[in-house]
A and B are shown apart, each in its own frame.
Chain A
Amino acid sequence: MSTAPADSTVRPPAADPTPIVALSGLSIAYRQGGQLVPAVEDVDLAVAPGETVAVVGESGSGKTTTASAILGLLPAGGVVTAGHIEIAGTDVTAAPERVLRALRGTVVGLVPQDPMVGLNPTMRLGTQVAEAVRRRGVDRRRAPAEALEALERAGVDQPVMRARQYPHELSGGLRQRVLIAIAIAGRPRLLVADEPTSALDVTVQRRILDHLAGLVADSGTALLIITHDLGVAADRADRVVVMRRGRIVEQGAPAQILLRPREQYTRHLLEVAPALSHAGRVVPAHAEAPPAPEVLRLDAVGKDFRLPRGGAERVFRALDEISLSVRAGQTLGLVGESGSGKTTALRIAMGLEQPTRGRVLLDGTDITGAGWSTLRPLRRRFQLVHQNPYSSLDPRFTVAQSIAEPLVSYRVGDRASRAARVRELLDQVALPAAHAGRRPAELSGGQRQRVAIARALALSPELVFLDEPVSALDVSVQDQILSLLLRLQNELGVGYLFISHDLAVVAQLAHHVAVLRAGRIVESGPAAAVLSAPTREHTRELLGAVPGQRFAAELAAAATPGATPGAPRKEG
């Protein structure tokens, strides 16, 4: 597969004696309620000129705080409590704002996290890039031309037109490229890229990371990538630094981290990362899909949205004649990038939206035009788990109230039997019974998603719709939830319609896979066939964009023969 963009030979340690950035024994804490809560502890890290270093960690690992400290842009309340930050040989730990400012943009540049909010909404893009150009001391009249050049180098098409546009007129991927243009416009010696692509689709992510890698290789700029994705880190970096709870756990060449991890935590990360755990490839968990009766069927369903007046086209075709079927006790994985129509398909299947064309059949009964009250008795049989566990639970409800709500709505049982059912469900989703009285604010993201799953299971449905149920969660939590879903399917025989943008995640659950693009089904069939031998270009592109494939061959060779891919792991 044509994946590894950076050359896979690890460069020798930099010959230059002065690294651009050197952190020694750095500790950072946040002031909270008169106390100092440590965020980063005793971190040693150096980036040599021209080197690409990746810092990997889950949320709360202190990786973003470290990046902010390098730029001297710690959020309010952040204090360096110990250690030193050296930039290009000078100690800037306690340097005044004036000194730090001189370094920003010209020595250290930043590619920020979320392209949707990283650009000033009321300023033309060209002006925003020119501001960075001017920092190099470029003349006011020359700045616009150099800004165009920076946009072009960042891979922005039609830079002249884009320079006159405002951020809201651009897609996320293009905005990220503009942010890269801003970062390179000052010709810095080090680029700090803070999760530069995690808000973007995988294929866009891959193109942007490729471009970034090319840029730094051409100009000899050093690159510090902050990421939650070990695959991205291993693919792109000369050196990988694994962080956890503010400390560096392990660092080394990517091959060493991936193939011979020394630390337990690194091994754990490798194990739970869907792509990395399967020798760097997307391997379906269910090698075959035994025949099973069909529960839900979407028959040539289409959906048009009317666009606001003024546009060239009056109608946006979100779905174009798609047909899907979900089988009892099995999982249909529906994969697509943003805007592919996968959420619309789910909402139509759920009866939350009406299709423009086609039929929705539940057990052979046409439920297409059914109103809420006619659908209500049927709803007991199919339930929904939302994408974001932070908004799908009423903050005022206790866990027990949330789980029991469908039972109350359908007047199932009395108070005592509902309480018993809640206890049973809590047990099924592996939450302690003591959590029944807690409120969502007291739970972690993974625990909330368990509650949401328990709620969906309360009425013992035949089918559960899963709308990106793990995309808001950390990798290790993600793995726990996926294992839980797998176990529940085995125990309860429930069918899933699983929606995701991530093929590697879908592979862990799906019996059948359908790949959606621009409202059409590009390819569908048994998971084993679609994922192992894709016939369509788009599927291949999606598979190829899954990060972590740089050492696929080595990983495959090193994989222990006994490990069965996709087997449910023990829940943590």
Chain B
Amino acid sequence: MARYLAGRFAQALLVLWAAYTVVFVILHVLPSDPITLQLSAGGADISQLTPAALHDLKARYGLNDPVGVQYVHALWHALHGDFGMSLTQNVSVGSLIADKLPSTLELTAVSLPLMLVGGFGLAHLAVFVRWRPARTLLARLPAVGVSLPQFFVGLLLIQLFSFSLSWFPATGSSGWRSLVLPAVTMSLIGASMLAQLLTRSFDDTWREAYIVTAQAKGLSRGTVQRRHVLRNACLPALTLLGILLGYTVTNSVVVEAVFSRNGIGQLTQQAVLGQDVPVVQAIVLIAAAGFVLANLLVDLLYSLLDPRVAHAAGTG
């Protein structure tokens, strides 16, 4: 088991390194000229610079080196937690991110439980409600949830609960009231996807032969659901949960834009708008790290919940 975990951890680090490399390649090797791109983003007008000044400026950002050398430098510094200087704001990328991360984590911390409760709750209702029209409606609801664009949901919530009912503030990042609408918006897609998968998974599991065995023992519907269906049906949902967890940073981009919250998402938007390459590179690395970490957790949970996986892990 320990060997299995060590192997998975090494694999996760490898994926992370590869993801960093892929992003570096995209940002530095694609046809767009990274030098002009970065310099113009830094507020300098190239045509007004003397060649000497241009050279100095490039040297400041280490852009005179070959791409390979730049890559090794960047990777080496990144390994030490140093992501370089932002091109648009005159601060280090590390401090920028440290500044914005808490707000996004706060948002995630609220939206994650909402997502889980919403997803599981809806799926459970869809299994347990016997009245057919209601059941059908519950089963179809998540399909609507996954189709609505996040910005539309956010604007709709603002229109309803801020402007019409004045229950919650429309924007800002102060106080718990300002968290409610963004958190609901952020959790909606995840909850819908989770509910969709779970509803299907519950249905499939109820059709398994071992459910008949359980029912033939004389167990009630509730007991069968709790003791036999739930655990088996949740196994496929775990994988999705890992992905949803890993998408936190991504999710915050649109939500923070809609609610004007000052977090990683907004930083991402600004960085892309300003073509601030070091910031984008660092954010993608953080997002990928989150993704890899979430999946590592899911794998661990999997081996705890499914004896078959634990068995395979023990021998392999």
Direct contact, A vs B (beta carbon within 8 Å): yes
Select which of A104, A166, A311 is within 8 A of B217 by beta carbon: A104
Select which of A97, A104, A118, A123 is within 8 A of B209 by beta carbon: A118
A112-B216, A122-B232 as given contacts; A168 in contact with B210, CB under 8 Å: no
A175 to chain B, nearest CB (A): 11
Which B residue's beta carbon lies closest to that of A165?
B307
C-alpha gap A91/B214 in the complex (Å): 24
Q: B218-236 CB contact bits vs A (8 Å, 1 = yes)?
A: 1111000001100110010
C-alpha gap A419/B194 in the complex (Å): 53
Q: Cβ of B314 < 8 Å from any Cβ of A?
A: yes
Contact B308 A119 (CB under 8 A): no
Q: Cβ of A59 < 8 Å from any Cβ of B?
A: no
B26 to chain A, nearest CB (A): 38
Q: Cβ of A445 < 8 Å from any Cβ of B?
A: no
Q: Cβ of A504 < 8 Å from any Cβ of B?
A: no
C-alpha gap A182/B218 in the complex (Å): 11
A112-B213, A166-B307 as given contacts; A123 in contact with B228, CB under 8 Å: yes
Select which of A102, A118, A132 is within 8 A of B210 by beta carbon: A118
Select which of B219, B232, B311 is within 8 A of A131 by beta carbon: B219
Contact A120 B218 (CB under 8 A): no
Q: Cβ of A105 < 8 Å from any Cβ of B?
A: yes
C-alpha gap A308/B314 in the complex (Å): 11
C-alpha gap A321/B227 in the complex (Å): 49
Contact A105 B217 (CB under 8 A): yes
Select which of B209, B213, B227, B228 is within 8 A of A182 by beta carbon: B213
C-alpha gap A117/B210 in the complex (Å): 6
A326 to chain B, nearest CB (A): 39
Residues of A within 8 A of B212 (CB): 73, 110, 112, 118
A101-B218, A101-B220 as given contacts; A118 in contact with B213, CB under 8 Å: yes
Residues of A within 8 A of B228 (CB): 120, 123
Contact A135 B213 (CB under 8 A): no
Contact A308 B315 (CB under 8 A): yes
Contact B217 A135 (CB under 8 A): yes
Residues of A within 8 A of B219 (CB): 101, 105, 131, 135
Q: Cβ of A169 < 8 Å from any Cβ of B?
A: yes
Number of A-B residue pairs with CB-CB distance less than 8 Å in the complex they form? 90
Which A residue's beta carbon lies closest to that of B230?
A122
Which A residue's beta carbon lies closest to that of B313?
A310
Contact A169 B311 (CB under 8 A): yes
Residues of B within 8 A of A114 (CB): 209
Which residues of A281-318 have CB atoms within 8 Å of chain B's CB atoms?
308-311
Residues of A within 8 A of B213 (CB): 110, 112, 118-120, 128, 179, 182
Which residues of A156-184 have CB atoms within 8 Å of chain B's CB atoms?
166, 168-169, 179, 182-183
Q: Cβ of A336 < 8 Å from any Cβ of B?
A: no
Which B residue's beta carbon lies closest to that of A120?
B210
Contact B308 A166 (CB under 8 A): yes
Q: Cβ of B68 < 8 Å from any Cβ of A?
A: no
Contact A168 B311 (CB under 8 A): yes
Q: Cβ of A71 < 8 Å from any Cβ of B?
A: yes
Which residues of B189-221 have CB atoms within 8 Å of chain A's CB atoms?
208-210, 212-221
Residue count of chain B within 8 Å CB distance of chain A: 26
C-alpha gap A110/B210 in the complex (Å): 12
Contact B215 A310 (CB under 8 A): no
Interface centre among B217, B220, B221 (most CB of A within 10 A): B217
| Interface of A (DSSP majority class) | loop
Q: Cβ of A519 < 8 Å from any Cβ of B?
A: no
Which residues of A12-42 have CB atoms within 8 Å of chain B's CB atoms?
none
B224 to chain A, nearest CB (A): 10
Which A residue's beta carbon lies closest to that of B305?
A122
Which residues of A93-137 have CB atoms within 8 Å of chain B's CB atoms?
97, 101-106, 109-110, 112-114, 117-123, 128, 131-132, 135
Which residues of A417-446 have CB atoms within 8 Å of chain B's CB atoms?
none
Q: Cβ of B65 < 8 Å from any Cβ of A?
A: no
A117-B210, A168-B311, A308-B315 as given contacts; A135 in contact with B218, CB under 8 Å: yes
Select which of B218, B232, B314 is within 8 A of A105 by beta carbon: B218
C-alpha gap A128/B223 in the complex (Å): 13
Residues of B within 8 A of A73 (CB): 212, 215-216
C-alpha gap A109/B214 in the complex (Å): 11
Which B residue's beta carbon lies closest to that of A109?
B216
C-alpha gap A166/B311 in the complex (Å): 10
C-alpha gap A182/B209 in the complex (Å): 14
A73-B215, A117-B208, A310-B316 as given contacts; A122 in contact with B306, CB under 8 Å: yes
Residues of A within 8 A of B208 (CB): 117
A47 to chain B, nearest CB (A): 16
C-alpha gap A241/B227 in the complex (Å): 37
Q: Cβ of A254 < 8 Å from any Cβ of B?
A: no
B80 to chain A, nearest CB (A): 37
Q: A467-481 CB contact bits vs B (8 Å, 1 = yes)?
A: 000000000000000
Which B residue's beta carbon lies closest to that of A97?
B221
Which B residue's beta carbon lies closest to that of A192?
B216
A97-B221, A120-B210, A120-B228 as given contacts; A104 in contact with B215, CB under 8 Å: yes
A117-B210, A119-B210, A119-B213 as given contacts; A102 in contact with B218, CB under 8 Å: yes
Q: A486-522 CB contact bits vs B (8 Å, 1 = yes)?
A: 0000000000000000000000000000000000000
Residues of A within 8 A of B308 (CB): 121-122, 166, 168
Q: Cβ of A355 < 8 Å from any Cβ of B?
A: no
Residues of B within 8 A of A231 (CB): none
Contact A117 B209 (CB under 8 A): yes
Contact A112 B218 (CB under 8 A): no
Q: Cβ of A186 < 8 Å from any Cβ of B?
A: yes
Contact A309 B231 (CB under 8 A): no
Residues of A within 8 A of B215 (CB): 71, 73, 104
C-alpha gap A358/B62 in the complex (Å): 66
Residues of B within 8 A of A104 (CB): 215-218
Which residues of B265-316 have CB atoms within 8 Å of chain A's CB atoms?
305-308, 311, 314-316
Contact B316 A103 (CB under 8 A): no
B116 to chain A, nearest CB (A): 20
C-alpha gap A133/B227 in the complex (Å): 15
Contact B214 A121 (CB under 8 A): no
Residues of A within 8 A of B306 (CB): 121-122
Residues of A within 8 A of B307 (CB): 121-122, 166, 168
B151 to chain A, nearest CB (A): 40
Contact B209 A113 (CB under 8 A): yes
Residues of A within 8 A of B217 (CB): 104-105, 131-132, 135, 182, 186
C-alpha gap A101/B217 in the complex (Å): 8
C-alpha gap A102/B217 in the complex (Å): 9
Q: B63-90 CB contact bits vs A (8 Å, 1 = yes)?
A: 0000000000000000000000000000
A34 to chain B, nearest CB (A): 14
Contact A186 B209 (CB under 8 A): no
C-alpha gap A357/B208 in the complex (Å): 43
Residues of A within 8 A of B216 (CB): 71, 73, 104-105, 109-110, 112, 183
The 3 residue pairs across chains A and B that have the minimum distance between CB atoms: A310-B315, A105-B218, A110-B216
- Footprint of B on A, CB under 8 Å? 71, 73, 97, 101-106, 109-110, 112-114, 117-123, 128, 131-132, 135, 166, 168-169, 179, 182-183, 186, 308-311
Q: A73-B216, A121-B210, A122-B306 are in contact. List 20 more A-B contacts (CB 8 A).
A: A71-B216, A101-B219, A104-B216, A105-B218, A109-B216, A112-B213, A112-B216, A119-B213, A120-B210, A120-B213, A120-B228, A122-B232, A131-B217, A168-B307, A169-B311, A183-B216, A309-B315, A309-B316, A310-B315, A310-B316
- Footprint of A on B, CB under 8 Å? 208-210, 212-221, 227-228, 231-232, 235, 305-308, 311, 314-316
26 contacts between A and B (CB under 8 A): A71-B216, A73-B212, A73-B216, A102-B218, A103-B218, A104-B216, A105-B216, A109-B216, A110-B212, A112-B209, A112-B213, A117-B208, A117-B210, A120-B210, A120-B214, A120-B228, A121-B307, A123-B227, A131-B214, A132-B218, A135-B218, A135-B219, A166-B311, A168-B308, A309-B316, A310-B316
